[in-house]
């Protein structure tokens, strides 16, 4: 089995070290206008109050890295993405970030702005598609960033765990060819909803285990996808993340404001001997008791 790798993501002030040996790191998902009409309205008006409040709240709730997505229809995304990053830096003392955009021009603008004074963001994302690998990976190498690799290809999201591993092989090989070290690639096995495919959870867990065994890379996921369209979503998502931790999940993209999900990850860390003397579990319990 491959050694568990450590991915470093850092701002000019703070560093996040992601490694399953030391516990799960949360990537906060809230700074994203998709499906949030109030945030869309603020961004269209050139306001960033909600962005800043979400940044501070997520860090206080336990996020290690903040995902920043500027996918606003008809917006000047390169400009908007940089403005959102600036707003987060000002409000939250420059935390480590994940730059989340499929737009190469917006990505380059964000990387050009952010990658100063030793800063190293995470980028979401690249796929196994030839166009994606060609357009994105050289940019990741140029700016010294880390990157999330999605296990999809020109054929879409694979049906089997084995095919997701094959797509991971393509991403890892392409990254190595441009000089990106394995520890700077985080893999997303692309969890599908159980409401549409009842085997989706099992397939994702199998893919995670295979990829971790072969490469030792860190694993992320859009955790809430598993419960989309089903009742009692927070409980289902929480249980799935806890199980995924045993398979190799190390840095889910989730909402740290959902207490049940955070509790499940803290419990997984403790049970898997990644929380010495239960200090983080006790600290989390006391924080919840104090409101």
Please list the pLDDT of the chain residue by residue as tens digits (291 residues): 899 999 999 999 999 999 999 999 999 999 999 999 999 999 999 999 999 999 999 999 999 999 999 999 889 999 999 999 999 999 999 999 999 999 999 999 999 999 999 999 999 999 999 999 999 999 999 999 999 999 999 999 999 999 999 999 999 999 999 999 999 999 999 999 999 999 999 999 999 999 999 999 999 999 999 999 999 999 999 999 999 999 999 999 999 999 999 999 999 999 999 999 999 999 999 988 987
Per-residue model confidence (pLDDT) at position 127: 98
According to the model, what pLDDT value does residue 290 have?
86
C-beta of residue 99 within 8 angstroms of C-beta of residue 110 = yes
Task: Provide Rg for the chain, Cα atoms.
Answer: 18
Cβ neighbour number for residue 3 with a 10 Å cutoff: 9
Q: Mention every residue, 6+ apart, whose C-beta is less than 8 A from residue 101.
A: 69, 70, 71, 77, 81, 107, 110, 124
CB-based contact 233:223 (threshold 8 Å): no
How far apart are the C-alpha atoms of 103 and 125, rounded to whole Å?
Answer: 10
Which of 279, 255, 273, 271 minimizes the C-alpha distance to 54? 255
What ranges do the domains of the chain cover? 23-113
Q: Are 144 and 116 in contact (CB under 8 A)?
A: no
Cα–Cα distance, 241 to 244 (Å, whole number): 5
Contacts of 268 (CB under 8 A, 6+ apart): 24, 241, 242, 245, 246
User: Can you tell me the distance from the alpha carbon of 3 to that of 20, in angstroms, rounded to the nearest whole number?
Assistant: 10
Query: Which residues does 137 contact at the CB level (< 8 Å), separation at least 6?
Result: 126, 147, 174, 175, 178, 180
């Amino acid at each position: 089995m491959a050694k568990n790798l450590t991915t470093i993501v850092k701002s000019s002030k703070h560093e996040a070290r992601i490694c399953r040996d030391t516990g799960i790191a949360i990537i906060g998902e809230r700074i994203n206008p998709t499906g949030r009409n109030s945030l869309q309205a603020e961004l269209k008006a050139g306001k960033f109050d909600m962005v800043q409040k979400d940044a501070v709240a997520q860090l206080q709730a336990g996020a290690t890295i903040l995902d920043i997505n500027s996918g606003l229809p008809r917006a000047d995304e390169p400009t908007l993405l940089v403005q959102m990053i600036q707003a987060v830096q000002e409000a939250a003392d420059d935390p480590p970030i994940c730059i989340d955009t499929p737009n190469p021009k917006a990505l380059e603008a964000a990387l050009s702005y952010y990658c100063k004074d030793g800063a190293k963001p995470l980028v979401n994302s690249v796929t196994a598609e030839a166009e994606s690998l060609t357009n994105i990976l050289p940019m990741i190498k140029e700016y010294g960033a880390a990157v999330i690799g999605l296990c999809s290809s020109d054929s879409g999201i694979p049906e089997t765990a084995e095919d997701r591993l094959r797509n991971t092989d393509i991403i890892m090989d392409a990254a190595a060819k441009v000089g990106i070290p394995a520890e700077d690639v985080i893999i997303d096995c692309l969890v599908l909803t159980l409401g549409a495919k009842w085997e989706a959870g099992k397939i994702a867990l199998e893919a995670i285990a295979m990829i971790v065994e072969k490469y030792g890379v860190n694993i992320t996921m859009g955790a809430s996808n598993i419960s989309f369209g089903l009742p009692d979503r927070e409980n289902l998502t929480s249980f799935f993340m806890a199980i995924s931790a045993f398979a190799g999940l190390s840095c889910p993209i989730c909402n740290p404001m959902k207490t049940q999900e955070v509790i499940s990850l803290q419990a997984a860390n403790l049970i898997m001997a990644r929380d010495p003397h239960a200090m983080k579990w006790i600290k989390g319990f006391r924080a919840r008791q104090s409101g």
